[in-house]
Amino acid sequence: MKIDIGTLAVLFPLLLLLLGLGSIVAIDTYIQKKQRRIMLIIVALCLSLIAQNVWENALFVSRSNLLLKNILSAYGYSVRPVILILFIYIIHPEGKKLLQWILAGINAALYCTSPMTKLCFEIRETNFVSLRGPLWPTCIIVSGILLIELLLRTILRYKETRRIEQLIPVSVVLIIALSVALDVSMATEQPVAFLTIAIVVGSVFYYIWLHFQFVREHEKDLQAAQRIRIMMTQIQPHFLFNSLNTIRALYAKDPPLADKTLENFSAYLRQNLESLSQTELVPIAKELEHTRLYAEIETLRFPNVRVEYQIEDESFKVPALSIQPLVENAIRHGVRSRKDGLVTVSTAGEQGFHRITVRDNGVGFDPEETEAEDETHSHIGLRNLKERIEQMCGGTMTVESEPGNGACITLLIPGENDRNLKGGPLNEGDLR
């Protein structure tokens, strides 16, 4: 079988692509075993489909061996829906896909019996011309059904993922649909069908997409661990012990106030525990309530400290544990050594933004030195908090401070945050 230069120019990069993909998939320990097995089967079927395309085209050129031509044509029409089903398994691994396999089986049966029945195609022995039978569109119809299912499952299952990430499996569907249209419209036989090329490219795209999903799952695991760690950094042992000692002392002097403080302390702990499973933004009112609970407990221990609130805007959402840690930082490292320590929390609406300001009249600090010494755990990790604000709601954070003159931290939350946006991880080590 001779292969001309044009065929070789198409064939060589496809083979390299598939062989490279198969080698990478075989040694990839990051994707699930089932997905790796499916990808290897897809690679093997793509290789066989390329061989079928080239072999069949060469036989038509030589006009010999009618039986082999029929077998190769039937195989090509039969295996394409199978590859699409395997793509569906990657998107939706649950279930056995019985209905899909029945459709693929009916398609294969019609094409495999066509050399005798001429239902789907016929290769004339006299002039070796390939003719379409009355049921020739069966492969296109079955493949179309599978493509629609693939597209719908992708959109429904991953509708909450980033849009750019969704484009990978969706683009595979569109490329395959376009290749089918090109194959149908072409008047001459191609050495390698457009559909075969599209399936090979789609296989590579799906492998890349699988890695995106692995990264996403890995991020979820990290988020769970990070939420635990951030909660532990926010509920420091000294705060627990001091709060309990304060409550015990209050019961000797002011039992009603002790009861109220114990209730606040319980609510504060409960809200910290809820943050473990909180992956979405929370209403600003909820975060402010959490901040108030903490501040009321701390100001009992430090009567020289006041926390005031100037709330003009409560119509937006913020990451959980974003304001309370700033107030904690202001009290612990800024104002509790002052005779009249004051922390002011304010919110205001601006054109296109929501502004949150946490200002104190404490000892202040050098923001540049604080960032450089982040590992000392002497303050709230402003860098980590800034990253959370940026990643979770597209906001910004600015820090203004100098030693001896207090500090002012401003968060700007875009107005689009009013929609139901997804949250991100709470980062560990949030101490500056």
The answer regarding whether domain 235-418 maps to CATH 3.30.70.1280 reads: no
Tell me the two tokens of residue 9: 């120019």
pLDDT at 225: 58
Q: Please state the rounded mean pLDDT for residues 337-356.
A: 91
Number of other residues whose CB lies within 10 A of the CB of residue 351: 5
pLDDT at 420: 42
pLDDT at 226: 58
pLDDT at 425: 38
Tell me which amino acid residue 81 is: P
Tens of pLDDT, residues 366-375: 777 655 544 4
Q: Indicate the SS3 state at residue 96.
A: coil
Q: Where are the domains of the chain?
A: 5-216, 235-418
Tell me the two tokens of residue 88: 């569906």
pLDDT score of 262 more than 80? yes
Whole-angstrom distance, CA of residue 36 vs CA of residue 86: 11
Q: Please state the rounded mean pLDDT for residues 93-98.
A: 84
Q: Please state the rounded mean pLDDT for residues 205-216.
A: 76
- State pTM to two decimals: 0.52
Q: At what angle do helices 237-253 and 284-301 cross, to 10 degrees?
A: 60
Whole-angstrom distance, CA of residue 52 vs CA of residue 54: 6
pLDDT at 413: 92
pLDDT exceeding 70 applies to what percent of the chain?
79
pLDDT score of 163 more than 70? no
Mean pLDDT of all residues belonging to the chain: 80
